[in-house]
Chains A and B, each alone.
Chain A
């Protein structure tokens, strides 16, 4: 007799985590203009939706299926980011598949952790295949472990279509398996010598339903990779992802080690502190699961750092095992409430208040450059708050109850880090005050994109009663983001140089260029690209970024040239130079 599915509190909590993740991943998804990197893919999707024959980039799932959504609905920045965002939401459900391995409470906590992780949130909000590969791969592995070959195969097929990231994921898993295998071999030899038998987990891998999974995998890759046999080049593009991955070993990265290090430390402080604690504990106590997660974290981190073409979004794979460790640590800490609840809460509140006090002092530091007397007092105040908190916990534990002392400190630390996590999460969504300062972006931010388009629209509207009708010439600006913005215009021409006989009504050039007949034009500059100089930032500037999301910015501008006769009244009175 089949077991009737029942809706439990656990299910509700998973649903809550999913909704939370959906909220932070989907709200204001189309608010930012697509970066050049995103726009390159989105333009391919748009071409695909229009039936144009284009060479697909090595992320066929994203391109083909986003193209399909463009075909059904109107193409837009939000829609261009929808699939990765949905994949990111889907990742939240993965812990449910692993609950038998990591435990029910840790799995649930992991779902919330993944939902609130700034790195995962930021990656999910970018039009790219990384989250698609990662999410589907982890779900596929989960289903495989639960012996559901159909789902595992389908999701694995989709993961393979996600892009070069899948090969990094597979390589990471392969190294972890290899590492575990060597350890188990060593254990086996040792126990053989001692005349004992050691259970090793590799036979378990052999027992998984690989054979049943493969046909589903092939089928799903074939169906999804060709958009139901309408775009066969998708298969070719999927294979290109392997080539792109290998090519990455010979191409330099634009991401500095400092950017990655500081961004990870400041964005994922919660997971780093608690996960790090769990890893240390697990290593000392020889906890197999913690050690496995630790190995996964280390291998992913090392591979990401040594992979020359790594991008910030690649850190997504690094944070997942870290959140796994974190969730296990939180579950351990809060497994049992102390009997004296009131003193525990009181201690928590005091320590939390002290931490907030310390935090406020740090936040009040004027600027990184001004390390005067006031700054020193603030730093001392912060240090004092931390020391007092620790002292209080120790004293309570000694004088009252160790359970109360420990609980108070743990809860306060978790709450403070949680607060910082929320702050970082908001910044990672790109909805904050300074979206350009999000370090997890893969490409620079288009600052005045909306303003530029609005200006073009207005000129077009005034002169032709149609905001899309006027000719625009883009000369010497090779930006996919700009092409994406101007995608609906009827007449846009891109060129390296402007023919001398041409005098288009609207012209976009880099700042250093001007139209041949510049007297006939009036120009306005717009900040086109804006990104912090991550590689050049000093530790104190990083601290300032961590507190205020402020960083020294590099800017690149374009000029919109409008033929002077298009201004109101210009026909009657020629515009002055």
Chain B
């Protein structure tokens, strides 16, 4: 275990060192020149080069290919060393010793610390862990790229699997099994996120200047090195207030006995968090417990949606600590360090300023307008032309584009953030006009196209489950849930905004902020109702189209409209369009907590952003702020994007297989957490440093209380992990199988050593132990979790009759029938273990008669079909 850990530590450090010259050049706008991000940047470049070249069949999926990819990064770095000069780099390293040391200590502690946490509960069991481990093993086992789908033989993975490629690369290079890599990756990503968050805050803090009205002093680099640790604390450790509520609940607070002796609580009923509405089990204590179920799971389900009929819908509201505690290696976790890399890149761009950047150029829309007015089209003056000539922009496209491959939902979010920062720089320089909106669209389009081009092989094999945008009429977040979710982050931010307001009270234009906020919010509201009205009237239009004798196209369209409209009504919980609209309006108005909070926050952000525009005022201090690219403005921008992310799902959400906001909230709130945690960390440090005497003491009390409330969940969560530890510490996520079913593990080990081939095993539901053989061996199964396959591929067409065929293969007594199925799916290994026996009434006689077992022990028999073709063909 220690050797595997050290192997990963050394390798990722080597990757960081190899990419360092490139990082120092690209992130030259940052005080630490991106040192804290170099491991993330290096891993991304390495993964990209390997994946791309392997997908183009230039590199092999073996250690040589992975090493060559690293060699290419090293070569690029050497060129940058030559460009900037080795002496310059050595000089910088000499100067930045403290920062380097802090980053290195933080990285090692976070990596080692979380590896120990994972080692206490390493099993890849339950939730989607089996799926994630299956991806890693499939990538390790695939002879060629794109890697095969472990749960649908004959197909490549149709998922955003870049993170798993990186984990598999590290595993292959260090000769670590996929099962161990699963937990090491979790720990590594935790550490990368910690250093990434630290780096961003450190660089922001280094830009805080002194001598401003209201007191305060500049923060030294040494102090910034310490204060920077607030960022990993807020991003990774601080949690929502559900843990705190669990303690109150477990202690019996706000519960009182009724006349019949049952416990009642209007508070908990009002709070309406599942399970907490039920009375606690005496004797009461401070330790959260749940007699049936897992108490810590509830923190990821604070929000509760109801349709208009009062039917509850499950909503996921994970935050980083929960995800890491759970131990899932899901794409949203795997994307975290790279999201921070993008934020770091945006900060770097912001601090460098526009300068002579091509983004200052005229812009495509403007040039087109000129052309339409009879003037020649000036390609060189057009932003697009200038942008495409800059390699830095392509690199930005590469980093942004990686998010789609890591966690597709993040791609538009962070393209948006990056473009907002760029447009804000233009706004600072030239003020607001509609041209800014055009630039925003233009830049977003450029980066979106770039991202797609650079990751084209991924898109060619990917089918998204997202099927459009749906207006959210019945679903929205209650104010109390919103504050329970984001309270520990919002409170320092609100205090900071208040402080900013007091500081700049004479310069802010409150009305413009309020107008903007109200316009945005009610605009979204209007759009939502307009779309809602369209969706509700779809059945009417569909019926109109189907009346008479329409052509096939109109018939198809009419049926589709009927279907979509019907589904929409179904999700709202009513069939009465008028009532849906009025009931929705009534519910929203009666539960105004979230949107009112967002209205105030949005107004405040807009007001303060206006401060950083040069032409707004003659005040010399403000001008200074503009010249020095004040970090406050950048922090406000990322806060703004976070507000946008929680605001949009109040009115619109993305349509997927579930039909309600579950995934939209999950993905958007998770990103909001990252953004707001950075803002909260920055706000906390700023207030700690700048407030004086009484105000500082007051802030310290409030801040400490809220922070402690936010740390209750991690405390009890980690305690629970320690108590749940079974046996010795190990990073092997398959050790549970060795312990509880050694026969199965022995059989799987046999398959791991045997030539790759399609394996058939019992098919069953998601989140279960079905698909275990393919998950651990990396061999593709005929079918694994049908539900998930359906999600990944947006339907069941590819699966066809596989589930039934597998059942038939195990149960039939007819060899010819079995043989046909074996040939149809090119099945090489027929696995018969306990799961198969319990899922089917296995008729083994036909296999015994015509095939020979290649493996047999007390619990498992594996037959080999000798006529199956090798996997790579």
Residues of chain A at the chain B interface (Cβ within 8 Å): 53-56, 58, 232-233, 235-244, 493, 495-501
Contacts and interface: CB of A to CB of B under 8 A. Distances in A.
Contacts of B461: none
A140 to B, nearest CB: 20
Given A243-B67, A499-B866, A233 B59 contact: yes
B321 to A, nearest CB: 37
B60 interface: yes
A501 B64 contact: no
A342 to B, nearest CB: 64
A242 B850 contact: no
B827 to A, nearest CB: 14
Given A243-B67, A501-B850, A236 B60 contact: yes
B272 to A, nearest CB: 57
A241 B58 CA distance: 16
Contacts of A236: 53, 58-60, 62, 64-65, 68
Contacts of B313: none
A243 B852 contact: no
B282 interface: no
B761 interface: no
A242 B143 CA distance: 20
B62 A497 contact: no
B1 interface: no
Nearest to B59: A236
A56 B59 CA distance: 10
Nearest to B67: A239
Contacts of A233: 57-60, 65
B744 interface: no
A2 B281 CA distance: 103
A243 B68 CA distance: 10
16 contacts: A53-B872, A55-B60, A56-B60, A232-B58, A233-B59, A236-B59, A236-B64, A238-B64, A238-B68, A243-B64, A243-B67, A496-B852, A496-B864, A497-B851, A497-B866, A500-B849
Contacts of B873: 53
B864 A55 contact: no
A237 B849 contact: no
B63 A499 contact: no
Nearest to B172: A243
A116 to B, nearest CB: 36
A474 B61 CA distance: 29
Interface in B543-582: none
Contacts of A58: 64
Given A240-B64, A496-B866, A497-B852, 9 more contacts: A53-B873, A56-B60, A232-B57, A233-B57, A233-B60, A235-B68, A499-B850, A499-B851, A501-B849
A236 B72 CA distance: 11
Instruction: Indicate the member of B56, B57, B852, B872 with the most A CB atoms within 10 Å.
Output: B852
Contacts of A232: 53, 56-59
Nearest to A56: B60
Nearest to B56: A232
A497 B872 contact: no
B864 A237 contact: no
A232 B68 CA distance: 12
B64 A241 contact: yes
B60 A497 contact: no
B144 A53 contact: yes
A242 B872 CA distance: 25
Given A243-B67, A496-B864, A55 B59 contact: no
B71 interface: yes
A239 B75 CA distance: 14
Contacts of B388: none
Contacts of B143: 55
A240 B59 CA distance: 10
A244 B143 CA distance: 18
Contact of A498 (B57, B67, B852): B852
B853 interface: yes
A497 B58 contact: no
A-B pairs with lowest CB-CB distance, top 3? A240-B64, A497-B852, A239-B68
Interface of B: 53, 56-65, 67-68, 71, 143-144, 849-854, 864, 866-867, 872-873
Contact of B62 (A240, A496, A499): A240
B593 to A, nearest CB: 57
Contacts of A56: 60
Contacts of B53: 232, 236
Nearest to A497: B852
A53 B62 CA distance: 14
Nearest to B63: A243
A235 B58 contact: yes
B64 A499 contact: no
Given A54-B872, A56-B60, A239 B65 contact: yes
Nearest to A52: B873
Nearest to B755: A496
Contact of B71 (A54, A239, A493, A500): A239
A500 B67 contact: no
A238 B71 CA distance: 12
Contacts of B854: 496-497
Contacts of A500: 849-852
A572 B867 CA distance: 33
Nearest to B75: A218
Contacts of B864: 495-497
B68 to A, nearest CB: 4
Contacts of A498: 852, 866
Contacts of B850: 499-501
A55 B62 contact: yes
B51 to A, nearest CB: 13
Most A Cβ at <10 Å: residue of B64, B144, B853, B866: B64
B64 A239 contact: yes
Contacts of B71: 239
Nearest to A218: B75
Contacts of A493: 866-867
A233 B56 CA distance: 10
A449 B57 CA distance: 37
Nearest to A54: B872
Contacts of A501: 849-850
A242 B71 CA distance: 11
Contacts of B63: 239-240, 243
A240 B71 CA distance: 12
Q: Which of B63, B851, B872: most chain A CB closer than 10 A?
A: B63
A344 to B, nearest CB: 59
Nearest to B754: A496
A499 B867 CA distance: 9
A54 B60 CA distance: 9
A148 B67 CA distance: 30
Given A232-B58, A233-B59, A236-B58, A497 B64 contact: no
A532 B873 CA distance: 39
Nearest to B143: A55
Q: Which of A56, A232, A498 has the most CB of B within 10 A?
A: A232
A233 B60 CA distance: 6
Given A55-B62, A243-B63, A495 B866 contact: yes
A162 to B, nearest CB: 14
Contacts of A54: 872
B62 to A, nearest CB: 6
Contacts of B56: 232
Contact of B67 (A55, A242, A495, A499): A242
A242 B852 contact: no
A168 B680 CA distance: 55
Q: Which of A58, A233, A493 has the largest count of B CB atoms less than 10 A from its CB?
A: A233
A160 B864 CA distance: 40
B352 to A, nearest CB: 34
B826 to A, nearest CB: 15
A41 to B, nearest CB: 15
Contacts of A55: 60-62, 143, 872
B540 to A, nearest CB: 56
A49 to B, nearest CB: 17
Contacts of A240: 60, 62-65, 67
